[in-house]
Amino acid sequence: MKPFIGITMDRADGEKQIIPDAYVHAILQAGGTPLLIPTGVEKDIKRIVEALDGLLLSGGDDVAPYLFDEEPHPELGKVTPERDVTEVALARQFLNANKPILGICRGMQLLNIVCGGSVYQDITAQYDGPLLQHRQKAAKSFASHVVTLAPKSLLHQIVGRDAIRVNSFHHQAVREVPSPFVVTGQTSDGIIEALESVNHYFVLGVQWHPEELSIAGDTASQQLFTTFIKKCENL
């Protein structure tokens, strides 16, 4: 039976709950059944977690900095507090249940924050050192920079390579990394691009958007989604 994969949704203009189509198609392509999770369902989180086999924390706007005990930086982008509330509750319940989680872009940052970490509110203003272009101007399906993977890491095992080329659409990035996470992918400028838990069955976060690359035919991205779905099936 195909596993049910919850995908978190974003809010647009306070009137719509949306999700880019690529997330849905990447899950379908890998053999899962995607179910969309709107904001505002905090009272039903326990039942939702029981019903789902896996969770995909999607990308989107910035995470509110009060969640990691900081005041807003002048370069902080749009935040959506109601989305933060829902996703924090989902992430905590999934971690406690030890069910598979894949965090993408904002989703990886939120996972890190939930476990006690922090993010750069804006890497251009706060990161110490020269940076690559992390907000590419090319199409979403174009892999613009290289991520080096940690040997023997879960992500390294999944793709079978020491480095992969990925797309990039972010101005925030993981800063302090708490236990149980370890850094498993970085760019040449030192920005953290992948995390994974050493204490959970399958909890993995990536800073790029593999859903866009997967539906465009990128093998490494397809392997990531296929492995995620298999982990959800075998739980």
Look up 134 and say whether it is catalytic: no
Encoded tokens for 208: 């790029």
Q: Pick the catalytic residue: 87, 196, 211, 212? A: 211
Q: Pick the catalytic residue: 87, 105, 115, 212? A: 105
Q: Pick the catalytic residue: 115, 196, 209, 212? A: 209
Helix (H) or strand (E) holding 54: strand 54-57
Q: Which DSSP symbol is given to 119? A: E
Helix (H) or strand (E) holding 113: helix 106-114
Q: Which DSSP symbol is given to 44? A: G
User: Which residues lie across from 204 on neighbouring strands?
Assistant: 102, 196
Look up 233 and say whether it is catalytic: no
Output the CA–CA distances (angstroms, integers) from residue 40 to 107, 108, 113, 129, 202, in the order listed. 17, 21, 20, 39, 26
Radius of gyration for the chain, computed over Cα atoms and rounded to the nearest angstrom = 16
Look up 211 and say whether it is catalytic: yes
Cβ–Cβ under 8 Å, residues 211 and 7? no
What gap in Å lies between CA 210 and CA 221, rounded to an integer?
A: 5
What gap in Å lies between CA 223 and CA 78, rounded to an integer?
A: 32
Give every CB contact of residue 44 below 8 A, 6+ residues apart in sequence: none
Output the CA–CA distances (angstroms, integers) from residue 137 to 61, 141, 166, 167, in the order listed. 18, 11, 13, 10
The residues assigned a catalytic role are: 105, 209, 211
